[in-house]
Structure 1
Amino acid sequence: MIIVRKAERKDCKRLLELIKELAVYEKAPDEVTVALEHFEESGFGEKPVWWAFVAEEINDTDKNKNILGFALYYIRYSTWKGQRMYLEDLVVTEAARGKGIGKLLFHALIAEAKEKNFSGIAWQVLNWNEPAINFYKKYNTIFDPEWINCSIPV
């Protein structure tokens, strides 16, 4: 059985494992540099800056629990649209893909965005990630070819 619930501090170690798995998939295994303590504090400290849902498999026979995926977001402010949910990562471990877990997580995000009166949900997807692009197309996603992503290290 799969349940979706809000992430808790105790989940952070597993979430970081999944983030590293995603980095390998995205051909950037050395790019994950965040420390577990910083990750935990950023999500569960006095002033959290991110929130997440986890998809957890519960084995009825021995009550084992295993997080198979997560969706992590933060609040972004648009001067044109107001508060928006920014989906930083939606990750399902490779062995569990194709079982509807991403859909469960995405629906939890949509419900959360509606509940919090956000004006929408925004995210990025790599242009070569066809499985993800095809998943998002099911939701009438608007793919924006105009904007170029920018960042600077500080």
Structure 2
Amino acid sequence: MSLTVSIRKGTPTDLAAVHALIVELAVYEKAPNEVTNTLEDMQRDGFGEQPIFEFYVADSEEEGIVGIALYYTAYSTWKGKMLFLEDIVVTERHRRKGIGRLLFTAVVEAAKAGKYKRMKWQVLDWNEPAINFYRSIGANLDGEWINCNLSEEQLLQH
């Protein structure tokens, strides 16, 4: 069965499907218990008084939302305003059908429309399909920078 998808900006009514895809991504990335984000958090953070993220969905008449691309604005001291692509997720049964590419293109178009100076994202070093895709579009895969973070618990200790 061929699946027809349209790419559109996400809305609050999409959040349950978006959250389900985030959980699916966590399972794929071998971290099923790491998702602590809730629908309430996403409602507040995406559609509250000070929205801090936006997203596109790949929507199909047949199955509903089968993919997402979530992003936000960040800032580079050297370059200025940049768009950070947090995640592209396509449900497993529809991967390798070009849906991720459609979502990626939508985010690129948003970056161009917003006059961002740079677009950034991360990829796990074992995710060969994603790495190959990013190489195919000419992206710079920079092995020089080390990712750093503090968990919520670590933040409370400082």
Match of 1:139 among 117, 124, 137: 137
Which residue identity is paired with 2:36?
T
Match of 2:110 among 104, 109, 112: 112
Match of 2:95 among 94, 97, 111: 97
**Which SS does the other structure have where 1:12 is aligned?**
helix
Deviation at 1:135, TM superposition (A): 1.2
Structure 1: how far apart are the matches of 2:17 and 2:92?
Answer: 14
Q: Hey, what does 1:62 align to over in structure 2?
A: none
Q: Hey, what does 1:14 align to over in structure 2?
A: 17
Which residue identity is paired with 1:128?
W
Q: Hey, what does 2:73 align to over in structure 1?
A: 75
Q: Hey, what does 1:150 align to over in structure 2?
A: 148
Structure 2: how far apart are the matches of 1:89 and 1:119?
Answer: 19
Q: Hey, what does 2:30 align to over in structure 1?
A: 27
Which residue identity is paired with 2:79?
K
Structure 2: how far apart are the matches of 1:91 and 1:35?
Answer: 17
Structure 2: how far apart are the matches of 1:81 and 1:139?
Answer: 22
Structure 1: how far apart are the matches of 2:136 and 2:54?
Answer: 24
**What is the CA RMSD across the aligned residues, in angstroms?**
0.8
Query: 5+ residue gaps in structure 1?
Result: 60-64
**Number of residue equivalences:** 149
- The TM-score, its normalising length taken from structure 1, stands at 0.94
Identity of matched residues, %: 50
- The TM-score, its normalising length taken from structure 2, stands at 0.92
Structure 1: how far apart are the matches of 2:27 and 2:91?
Answer: 12
Structure 1: how far apart are the matches of 2:64 and 2:24?
Answer: 15
Q: Which runs of 4+ in 1 moved over 2 A?
A: none
